[in-house]
Amino acid sequence: MATASLIHAPCGYSRKFSYNLRNGVYGGAAGSTSYSPSSSSCSCCSSQGLNFSSGVKSNCKGQGLRAQAMNTTIQGNFASPKAIVNSNTEPDHLLVLVHGILASPSDWTYVEAELKRRLGRNFLIYASASNTYTKTFSGVDGAGKRLADEVMQVVKKKDSLKRISFLAHSLGGLFARYAIAVLYSEAALSTGQSSDTTDSTLPSSQAVRAARRGTIAGLDPINFITLATPHLGVRGRKQLPFLLGIPILEKLAPPIAPIFTGRTGSQLFLTDGKPNKPPLLLRMASDCEDGKFISALGAFGCRILYANVSYDHMVGWRTSSIRREKELVKPPRRSLDGYKHVVDVEYCPPLSSEGPQFPPEAVKAKEAAQKEPNTRNTVEYHEIIEEEMIHGLQQLGWKKVDVSFHSAFWPFFAHNNIHVKNEWLHNAGAGVIAHFADSLKQQETSSLIIASL
């Protein structure tokens, strides 16, 4: 059992910049800036002797290149007719779309059409179909493993694929985080020889990048993007906004949630497992015996969090943007140029941290929260675990994009607006779709430039 006390690391976030992807400019009081993240490591132990460690280099830069509209044709693929393939040139970049709770691939209809129009022939856009509707109740780990198997089937059927990215909404972001840990392969040996999963047909510079970071499903990981995902769970004040922050409702929700949402509910409320075992979401903020979750995330060239600052009835701003309560400042009300309802972009560089721990006080707090879920017990437990999850996840650099639908006709649809679940009802999120489509496009362009060097 670990005996280390909690570490309350400072926020360490860089000052905010408004980033215009179309103009390629960071706007700030002091003009442009650059950052070269350094490697970081962590280790921690739980009462069961879990050994958490990571040694990851991360980099998330934008070159700000304007997206070009191109057309592709739609073809069928594994488990879903939602794959987009260019008939003239075989795609080499797999983009996996992962839906949220009680949803299906049809949630991505609008997004697929827009990405098809904007991204061009290099992308195979695939909407996951392995965790539809009530399958989302089987637990983050169960759904994550199914998603990993599905992705591997897609990769095996398309020999042309060299790169991979994920775009996930809500609970799907947690499924994707688990899946990439299952699909992760270690980086090549320092001798310069590639690992078994590194494709020898990759352009030399691209192969070097893939070997240095490790691979996902044998492919070079490029972007990991989540939209309104509860990365810190939904326990705590206003983390599940439809409870309105009312203490009695937030007290009753954790024991009731598993009745309706199965294992997934207990995992989201951090009450899964025995008292002396860290909850799954805490383990997923580390490299541990369950999987190399941090190394897998760190393998991606860029990690982006889109978070609703208000009006999201399902997922709070704090958990979707991986921030502490004190770090939530009043967001701008004006949208970025060309991206309606996208109000701010912040790059948070990696911070040195000992990573997540599960100290004795956390064991006691979890047991109390499970047996006697009164307000005092649940608040104490949540505060401990949330801080530890942040310690683990802040070891990586993140681009955090704040979204505000305060001026939308139906602002309370924010959770579905952010990915335009229905083109007619949730079209307020069109600017958000354009923003991450342009992010993907400029990342694709920069990858091609690097590969040609």
10's CB contacts (< 8 A; 6+ apart) are: none
pLDDT averaged over every residue in the chain: 76
Residues 218 and 152 sit within 8 Å (Cβ to Cβ): no
Q: Are 203 and 256 in contact (CB under 8 A)?
A: no
Could you report the per-residue pLDDT of 298-321, keeping only the tens digit for each? 999 999 999 999 989 889 999 999
pLDDT value of residue 211: 42
Residues whose CB is less than 8 angstroms from the CB of residue 113 and which lie 6 or more positions away in sequence, other chains included: none
Q: What is the CATH number of domain 93-187+206-353+391-452?
A: 3.40.50
> Predicted confidence band at 64 (pLDDT cuts at 50, 70, 90)?
very low
Q: Which pTM does this prediction carry?
A: 0.75
The secondary structure element, H or E, covering residue 394 is none
Report the percentage of the chain scoring pLDDT > 90.
Answer: 47
Higher pLDDT among residues 244 and 101, named by residue: 101
Q: What pLDDT does residue 364 have?
A: 87
- pLDDT tens digits, residue range 137-172? 989 999 999 999 999 999 999 999 999 999 999 999
HSE (side-chain half, CA atoms, 13 Å) at 290: 25
Range with the largest mean pLDDT of 25-29, 118-122, 152-156: 152-156
Task: Tally Cβ neighbours within 10 Å of residue 179.
Answer: 34
List the one residue out of 318, 366, 353, 288 whose CA is nearest residue 53: 288
- Residue 334 reports pLDDT greater than 80: yes
* Range 205-216 average pLDDT: 59
Strand partners, 339: 336
DSSP-H helix ranges across 300-429? 317-321, 360-371, 375-393, 414-417
* Share of residues in the chain with pLDDT > 70 (%): 66
Note the pLDDT tens digit of each residue in 346-388: 999 999 888 889 988 888 888 887 777 666 667 788 888 999 9
What is the reported pLDDT for 159? 92
Instruction: Provide mean pLDDT across the span 30-58.
Output: 35
CA nearest to 123, candidates 444, 361, 413 = 444
What's the pLDDT score for residue 313? Answer: 86
**Residue closest to 298 by CA, chosen among 438, 180, 176:** 180
Check residue 426 and report its DSSP letter.
S
Name the residue among 347, 344, 325 with its Cα closest to residue 333.
344
User: Domain locations in the chain?
Assistant: 93-187+206-353+391-452
